[in-house]
Amino acid sequence: MLDRTRLRIAMQKSGRLSDESRELFARCGIKINLQEQRLIAFAENMPIDILRVRDDDIPGLVMDGVVDLGIIGENVLEEELLSRRAQGEDPRYITLRRLDFGGCRLSIAMPLDAEYQGPQSLQNSRIATSYPHLLKRYLDEQKVRFKSCLLNGSVEVAPRAGLSDAICDLVSTGATLEANGLREVDVIYRSKATLIQRDGEMSDEKQQLINKMLTRMQGVIQARE
């Protein structure tokens, strides 16, 4: 059983946020041995346990109070928030600090030959995405009706495969879109990695440790600016 007096932090096990999350912990002076293929890593010099999971699981782990802190892309966090609200829940968490990595945008893209004159061009179209709630929030604001096609991977091939008219997916350079004959027509959400804390009571010891980490993080991030 895990020791609940130790601060529990969730980070992505492997992917676009994991190297920089690890680097941030190291620069904050937290010594962790992450070499092994383990779910949990223990800090050697502080009462901190690191849980290494898929990024999609991190918002829920924080909202459910299973871990104390998490580093997660705002895109995934916001989608989980909207999804839980749609199910009638009232999920809670505290944003401690927006981080200086993991930058990307969630964009709508269409085949090169498709006409686009603003969101109205998407009226009644089918859009493939892994972010149905963020997409719906945006298109509801624009009064655009659409049908979504939920895909958790290979979203960019959907138009070519005849599954959808457009896609809504994460973009950083645009190279993947181009390789699939798509062009970015609208940005619906700009994201970065962020550090969040679970809602609810925290022991004084844990809160002091969190505050110390935050002060160090501030210094690390300022020095990189």
Which residues in this chain contact ligand ATP in the complex, by CB under 6 A?
12, 15-17, 54-56, 73, 75-76, 102, 104, 170, 172, 191
Distance of CA 59 to the CA centre of its chain: 8
Burial 18-54 (b: 16+ CB within 10 A, else e): bebbbebbeebebebebeeeeeebbbeebebbbbbbe
Instruction: Tell me the one-letter amino acid at 150.
Output: L
Residues in 53-92 that interact with Zn ion by CB under 5 A: 55-56
Closest CB 1 distance from ligand ATP, rounded Å: 25
Closest CB 130 distance from ligand ATP, rounded Å: 8
* Residue 55 or 80 having the CB closest to Zn ion: 55
- Strand positions, DSSP E, 23-113: 40-42, 48-53, 69-73, 93-98, 104-111
- How many residues in the shown chain lie near Zn ion by CB under 5 A? 2
Per 3-state DSSP, what percentage of the chain is helix, strand, and coil (rounded to 5)?
35, 30, 35
* Residue 123 or 154 having the CB closest to Zn ion: 154
Q: List the beta bridge partners of residue 95.
A: 196
Structure-block tokens of residue 123: 């009226």
Which partner, Zn ion, ligand ATP, none, binds residue 104 by CB below 5 to 8 Å per kind? ligand ATP
Which partner, Zn ion, ligand ATP, none, binds residue 73 by CB below 5 to 8 Å per kind? ligand ATP
Sole window of 51-59, 108-116, 120-128, 168-176 interacting with Zn ion (rule: CB under 5 A): 51-59
* Residue 97 or 216 having the CB closest to ligand ATP: 97
* Residue 168 or 170 having the CB closest to ligand ATP: 170
CA–CA distance, 80 with 57 (Å, rounded to integer): 9
By beta-carbon distance, which residue lies closest to ligand ATP? 73
CA–CA distance, 202 with 190 (Å, rounded to integer): 31
Which partner, ligand ATP, Zn ion, none, binds residue 17 by CB below 5 to 8 Å per kind? ligand ATP
Write out the residues near Zn ion by the rule CB under 5 A: 55-56
